[in-house]
Amino acid sequence: MKKELKPAILQQEFFELTLNIEDSRLSAFELIGLLSNTEMLFKSINQTLNTKFAVGYDSVSIDVLALEKGSFKIPLFVKKVVNSPIFASTAGTLLGGLALNLLSNNTNPQTVSGGNDNIVIENKDLLDNQKTIHAVSNIATMTLETDGIRDIAVTYEKDNGERERVCVSKEKLFEVANRHDILVENIHNIQTNVVLEIVSPVFMNKPTSWKILYNGAPITAKMADEDFLETMDIQRIAFAKGDVIVADIESIATNTEKGIKLKHFIRKVHSYPRYTKITRQGRIEQTELFGKE
């Protein structure tokens, strides 16, 4: 007779990453990156628990819960499949605490029940896995290079079912990124067809810094579109406060001794308001047309 297979046991563990961000906005590029690296972090931790300690789950995946209005949280349920009833009854909610230790650079070991024996797991055990290093460093680096994020908070589920919230400063995340040597000298991020509002008038038709609103926040960006600058010169185009352009913008995060420094460049202007000057009775008037490149 064939031996009947016992149904797999599905467990869930709550974990939440909160970005304390000024304008409650995050680009799709950054959100996707944080989610994919968070999933990679949990899967790689579980892989290490299986291969090194034989106390891991058979499979791990994450579900993203609905975002709460008025804040930017990434609440998750970590779905864990385990075929051993004994391990299911003793494992508890170990993944979230291990992930928190890595993100906060907390070196206190965590004890996991392995049946007859207790197993002590330290960060160095988990960081033998290159995928874990890559995931935790990417999360730290992406948070650091986003100007609007002041810090992050992690809410994880403890063995007794209670949830604990722990804040992690940018200084601590910088330590994490540097310690694993993943934070490269320059990190590039390009956003295409972004609406940029001009904060102060621009009259110079040469590469210079423009003060603009980007994602609702004022920044300084260097105009690097030489074709557009030539068009400004030929057509005598000037801009006023409140004018809007649509352009591709590149942000470059540089690792310095004083921390992460961000520089922005307007790489390609796609559309803009054009002004033509008409002289009538000694007075200059402006007519606005919206042009596309």
Distance CA 95, CA 156 (A): 9
* Contact indicator for 20, 44 with CB cutoff of 8 Å: no
Domain boundary among 164, 183, 202: 183
Question: Do 119 and 131 fall into the same domain?
Answer: yes
Question: What phi and psi values does residue 48 have, to the nearest 5 degrees?
Answer: -65, -40
Q: Name the residue range of residue 239's domain.
A: 187-292
Question: Do 161 and 224 fall into the same domain?
Answer: no
Question: Do 20 and 146 fall into the same domain?
Answer: yes
Percent of the chain's residues with pLDDT above 70: 77
Residue 47 has pLDDT above 90, yes or no: yes
β-pair partners for 291 = 272
To 10 degrees, what angle do helices 130-144 and 94-104 make? 60
Question: Do 271 and 245 fall into the same domain?
Answer: yes
Residue 147 has pLDDT above 80, yes or no: no
Q: Residues with Cβ < 8 Å from 258, sequence gap 6 or more?
A: none
Residue 6 has pLDDT above 90, yes or no: no
Q: Is residue 30 part of a domain?
A: yes
Question: Do 257 and 156 fall into the same domain?
Answer: no
Instruction: Report the predicted TM-score, pTM, of the whole model to 2 decimal places.
Output: 0.54
Q: Which of 154, 202, 219, 179 has the alpha carbon at shortest distance from 14?
A: 154
Confidence of residue 182 (pLDDT cuts 50, 70, 90): very low
Tell the burial category of 98 from Cβ atoms under 10 Å away from its Cβ (0-12, 13-18, 19+): buried
Distance CA 58, CA 199 (A): 54
Torsional class of 273: left (φ above 0), alpha (ψ -120 to 50), beta (otherwise): beta
Q: Is residue 4 part of a domain?
A: no
